[in-house]
């Protein structure tokens, strides 16, 4: 597709279980971002991948959170031993560099509910 896609769109899991969230960025985009958005709140930065550089993990809230980006394309965000406070919408975005221009596009998000 033309846009950023995320799967699943909704995920309900029990406390203590691990979850994996997937992001397919726009083809050719070198940068990929993960954000978390709690109900009615702003966007909380989690992690940023740019090309082959080491990712910026400074936003990950705990060592239960990790992410990888395989082949410079698809990314997976993993949350281990989920807690109720992990419930939120997880948004992925990608951007491309054209000259000096950056435009960041978002996917529809994955709504995670931890029961």
Partner 1 sequence: GQQLNQSPQSMFIQEGEDVSMNCTSSSIFNTWLWYKQDPGEGPVLLIALYKAGELTSNGRLTAQFGITRKDSFLNISASIPSDVGIYFCAGQAVRYIFGTGTRLKVLA
Residues that bind partner 1 (CB under 8 A): 4, 33, 35, 41-45, 48, 56, 58-59, 91, 93, 100-109
Q: How far is the CB of 106 from partner 1 (least distance, A)?
A: 4
The H or E element spanning position 35 is: strand 31-37
Helix (H, G, I), strand (E, B) or coil at 46: strand
Q: Which is nearer to partner 1, 45 or 115 (CB)?
A: 45
Task: Look at residues 114, 113, 112 and name the one whose alpha carbon lies nearest to residue 22.
Answer: 112
Q: Which is nearer to partner 1, 79 or 89 (CB)?
A: 89
């Amino acid at each position: 597709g033309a846009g950023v896609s995320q799967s699943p769109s909704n995920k309900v899991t029990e406390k203590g279980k691990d979850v994996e969230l997937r992001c397919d960025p726009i083809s050719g985009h070198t940068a990929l971002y993960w954000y978390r958005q709690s109900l009615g709140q702003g966007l909380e930065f989690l992690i940023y991948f740019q090309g082959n550089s080491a990712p910026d993990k400074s936003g990950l809230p705990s060592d239960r959170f990790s992410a990888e980006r395989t082949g410079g394309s698809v990314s997976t965000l993993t949350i281990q031993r989920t807690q109720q406070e992990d419930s939120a919408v997880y948004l992925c975005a990608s951007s491309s560099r054209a000259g000096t221009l950056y435009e960041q596009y978002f996917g529809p998000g994955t709504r995670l509910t931890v029961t």
